[in-house]
Structure 1
Amino acid sequence: MARGSPTTEPTTACWRVGILFSATGVTAAVETSQLGGTLLAIDEINAAGGVLGRRVEAVITDPASDPRAYRRLAEQLLVEEGVRLLFGGYMSSTRKAMLPVVEAHGGLLFYPTLYEGFEYSRHCVYTGAAPNQNSIQLATYLLRHYGNRFFLIGSDYVYPYESNRIMSDFVVQSRGRVVGEVYVPLGAPDSAFGEVMERVREAEPDVIFSTVVGADTARLYAAHHAAGFDSRRLPIASLTTSEAEVSLMARGIAAGHITAAPFFETLGTPAARRFVAAFKRRNGMHMPVTAAAEAAYFQMHLAAAALARAGTDAPGDLLAQLGGCTFEAPQGRVRMEASNHHTWLRPRIARLDADGRFKVVWDAGASVKPDPYCVVQNLDDWPADGRQFALS
């Protein structure tokens, strides 16, 4: 464990927080961006005087994309280090590995990653997108612009199975059809994705929906390109392909493919530009700025605001204050929904250009209330501009 960031000096009078992002392993690229967003927020909080005059100190770990390591390190942070607040996790398998430990020891986990929904814990704050903030918008867009025959491919763990189940429900509701579904192990070889593309060719879908994660994403997109598919006619649409995964691809491989997320590095708003510039100054010009990094950034600011209100890092007291907190995030204003511990977020859809940069093609125009259980999930009720469920 490393205590503190390069710009954070530990003191005896500080707020100590546990950080769990992988610097190694299959999801290292995107989790490194999450760490960068977290440490940028801590730098900003400390530069402004800390919280109630006390600095925030980061106790940093590298769980190496291994759920067992997440569980072990979370327990170590809570029990041996005496930390109450944990920030981290990317794959749902890692969140699910940590939660029993966090609940058992009375801690609070801030989880900055899109996920499959259908979960609630008094010991978890969810700042990534729920399915009603990305999946339903993406399904609607794809059905209207590409067709209703979907091929689903995912990594072999909990999030892809559940996310694909939700996407299947949306597609079937719109009288579409899932013409294939396949899962590949994390770290699968190039040949595995080549075989998947042969199955795609046989199925003749209109869209490939991918829940492949991490470094495997680059192998999937390369296999699509090598198979000769045209992304203008058969795009890969994904919730898990971010700037971090695109940075692992050869130039041109990603062009034409589609992602739904609340934030993209290319957003042109003043707040987004300031964030991207500050992120790169701190973490290096080469570091991709992802939606997961933005969530990691604003969740730390939300936690600091709640900490200032509560005057303590006791999770129960902090949660009582968190429900009233808002923050002008790079994506736009975000706020916590006290009823389910999820975050109001602004859905967007973007297409990758020839230079591997996301260009927004659809924007909800406002933040959307989190509905992790998809109580409202009929695509026929979702209008073309997305505003029916978008609340300022």
Structure 2
Amino acid sequence: MKRNDALAERDDIPVGVIFSATGHLSVIEKSSIDVTLYALDRINRAGGIGGRPVTPYFFDACSDVRTYALGIGELIREHGVLCTFGGYTSASRRAMLPTVIASNHLLYLPTCWEGKECVQNIIYTGPVANQHSVDLIPFMIRNFGPRACFIGSDYVWPRETNAVARVWMDRNKGEVLSEQYLPLGVTDVSDALGLIRAEAPDFIFSTLVGNSALALYREYTRLGFDRRKTPIASLTTSEAEVRAMGSDIGEGHILAAPYFQSLQNPTNAAFVHSFLASPYGETGVTHFNLENTYLAVLAFEHALNACLETKDWAHLTANDIRNASAGLALGNDVSPEGHVWIDPDNFCMAFVPKIGRCGPDGQFEILQSSIRHVQPDPYALYPERGICRRDGLHTPDGMVVPNALY
């Protein structure tokens, strides 16, 4: 076995952190940086992992896909990071994938994503498509009506998410009146909302992200839409975006997510208090993307501790950490949203999906929660393509395709 002499000779554990501290996505990605540093600081204050402190190397992706691709290479080559926490959009994930796969690196992706992918170098700690819109679309039709307009940012996650949502619209006798896509970062949404207004839908399903999402809600309010009759339903517009736009603008709108700051349990109460009181808590709120990032760091800590029971630093690899993550559970005592675990085959996380409505204080009232965990299924809508296992996509004809994309 090839020795990891570079790691063995260090007295710390280098990890990468790649999110956007600047640009149109920083409204949400900045808090992922903060909570990663917060979680690593807590680990270090408790003695580190295996007696070593964890050293984060941060790269600002500047809300730019190409910069993500450059950044992940720099973190791996120049800093020798053992793993990397990062990525918010699926476009950024796909930009990093060639380098991650070629380097046999380990990426923790802490955001919602579309599925249709089976990669052996990623641990996904955010929800996949079958874990949120499956509940959200029937809820919206049942409570507001069957006619919807879709609007999203123009990249792979919104398009694939809307494909999933269309299936659930059809199965629940809904009708998609229009489907629009705006370039990432665009904030002029007046024409798009004008079209939606003319369609007079029962609800709007938004997969806009970053500043584009803020612009949608602000323009919606300016145009005088009635949020009691025609709310915006989203999978991403969380407490952080509401804080940025103002709770008066976010009030009444709907979000589907595995975590809300308002969750009532002792672990979440302690997490919210500790994080917001720390030097890293300047966002002023917690939200699901932030919490999914926190879970990623916890999962890394638990997996690395398990590896060190049988491995020394000279023989430790990213593959070892991934293998130790199969089936890894984070219990009620450590996970703010409650018990979750990493699927041992596809390395996505099992969650309890929830639906909340934003209140006047910017916090979400939980209106619906699944009665059980929903297992992640990256190929839920594409069973003909096969099943994602730990060694690759197992196709119906008996082939195993490592790092299967699309």
**Structure 2 length-normalised TM:** 0.87
Please list every run of at least 4 consecutive aligned residues from structure 1 whose deviation after the TM superposition is greater than 4 angstroms. Answer: none
Picking from 194, 198, 212, the partner of 1:198 is 194
Tell me by how many angstroms 1:216 deviates: 1.6
Question: Given the alignment, which residue of 366, 377, 388 partners 2:372?
Answer: 366
1:284 CA displacement: 3.2
What is the root-mean-square deviation of aligned Cα atoms in Å? 1.6
Q: Is the counterpart of residue 97 in structure 1 residue 100 in structure 2?
A: no
Question: Counterpart of 1:224 in 2: which secondary structure?
Answer: helix
Contact 2:247/2:362 (8 A) holds in 1: yes
User: For each residue in 1:38-80, what CA deviation from the matched residue of structure 2 results, as whole angstroms up to 9, or x when unmatched?
Assistant: 1222122222221111111111111111111111010111122
- 1:215 is aligned to 211
Structure 2: how far apart are the matches of 1:54 and 1:97? 31
Aligned residue number for residue 80 of structure 1: 78
Q: State whether residues 45 and 301 of structure 1, in contact with CA within 8 Å, keep that contact through their aligned partners in structure 2.
A: no
- Matched-pair contact (CA < 8 Å) for 2:186–2:211: no
Q: Distance in 2 between matches of 1:333 and 1:91?
A: 26
Give the 5 Å matches for 1:24-173. 24-173=22-171
Which residue of structure 1 aligns with residue 265 of structure 2? 269
- 2:319 is the alignment partner of 1:316: yes
- Aligned equivalents of 2:376, 2:344: Cα separation in 1: 11
Per the TM alignment, residue 182 of structure 1 is displaced from its structure 2 partner at its CA by: 0.7
2:296 corresponds to 1:293: no
- Displacement after TM superposition at 1:161 (Å): 1.0
Deviations 1:96-122 (A, max 9, x none): 000110000110100000011111100
Which SS does the other structure have where 1:205 is aligned? Answer: coil
Partner of 2:337: 331
Q: Note the C-alpha offset of 1:12.
A: 3.9
For 2:26 and 2:318, how far apart are their aligned partners in 1? 28
8 Å contact kept, 1:207–1:237: yes
1:186-229 per-position Cα deviation (integer Å, ceiling 9, x unaligned) = 2323xx31211211122121110000001221110111112211
Instruction: Work out the percentage of aligned pairs sharing the same amino acid.
Output: 38
Distance in structure 2 (CA, Å) of the matches to 1:300 and 1:251: 30
In 1, the alpha carbon distance for the partners of 2:299 and 2:82 equals 16
TM-score (norm 1): 0.90
1:266 counterpart SS class: coil
The alpha-carbon deviation at position 349 of structure 1 amounts to: 0.5
Which runs of 5 or more residues in structure 2 are unaligned? 1-8, 384-406
Counterparts of 1:42 and 1:253, CA distance in 2 = 34
Offset, 1:130: 0.8
Distance 1:333 1:359 in 2: 21
Report the equivalent of 2:350: 344
Consecutive unaligned residues in structure 1, runs of 5 or more: 1-10, 378-392
Cα shift at 1:144: 1.2
Distance in 2 (alpha carbons) for counterparts of 1:143 and 1:286:
33
Aligned to 2:401: none
* Residue 381 (structure 1) aligns with: none
Equivalent pairs counted in the alignment come to: 365
Per-residue deviation, 1:290 = 1.5
**Cα deviations by residue, 1:316-335 (Å, 9 ceiling, x for unpaired):** 11111111321131000111
What is the rounded CA distance, in whole Å, between the counterparts of 1:26 and 1:265 in structure 2?
Answer: 24
CA distance in 1, matches of 2:99, 2:71: 10
Partner in structure 1 of residue 395 of structure 2: none
- Cα displacement (A) at 1:375: 5.3
Question: Which residue number corresponds to residue 389 of structure 2?
Answer: none
1:331/1:77 CA distance change after superposition, 3 Å: same
- 1:33 touches 1:288 (CA, 8 Å); kept in 2? no
